[in-house]
Amino acid sequence: MSKLDVLITRIFIQLGFIVVAGAMLPPLLSLFDWPHDLIWRTASLVAAALSFFFAATYPARRRAASGVRTPAVVWLDVLILLVAAAVLLCNSAGFGLKPSPGPYAAALTAILFLGGWSYLQALNTLLAHHKNRADNAPRARK
């Protein structure tokens, strides 16, 4: 496996863990009888921090693994992830809306859908990369 293969595998596992941990955190906090407002603020802040960190570091990690500039479509994916993280941050801060499960669930769902869409993009990239390597490999003599 190439460095890019490993990175792409790792990033989708990471995105999946962000979504799953985000989905599990509010029910966990409610088991401790936290006030609803605090549950959504805390869960939103944690999910926002993880999403912002992922989005901020992904282009450099991808460039290091692939050796090429980050494609525009990947920057679009990063922008969408940053928007979802901003919704989570606003939900945490109570900016523009009362902290609640609606914006939280919408942002986590957006991250999940983004992960699925990005996976398909990455799969096409990897398949094309491996096909080009196979096409350019020296042919064995008969």
Q: Give the pLDDT confidence of 85-103 residue by residue, as tens digits.
A: 999 999 999 998 899 999 9
More confident residue, 139 or 23: 23
In this structure, is residue 142 part of a structural domain?
no
In this structure, is residue 57 part of a structural domain?
yes
Instruction: Check if the beta carbon of residue 82 is closer than 8 Å to that of residue 109.
Output: no
In this structure, is residue 36 part of a structural domain?
yes
In this structure, is residue 141 part of a structural domain?
no
* Cα end-to-end distance, the chain, whole Å: 28
- pTM score: 0.86
In this structure, is residue 25 part of a structural domain?
yes
**Average pLDDT of the residues in 72-84:** 95
More confident residue, 111 or 2: 111
Total domains in the chain come to 1
More confident residue, 132 or 37: 37
In this structure, is residue 22 part of a structural domain?
yes
pLDDT, one tens digit per residue, over 48-62 is 999 999 999 999 999
Virtual CA dihedral for 31, 23, 82, 67, nearest 10 degrees? 120
Domain span at 13: 3-136
pLDDT category of residue 140 using cuts at 50, 70 and 90: low
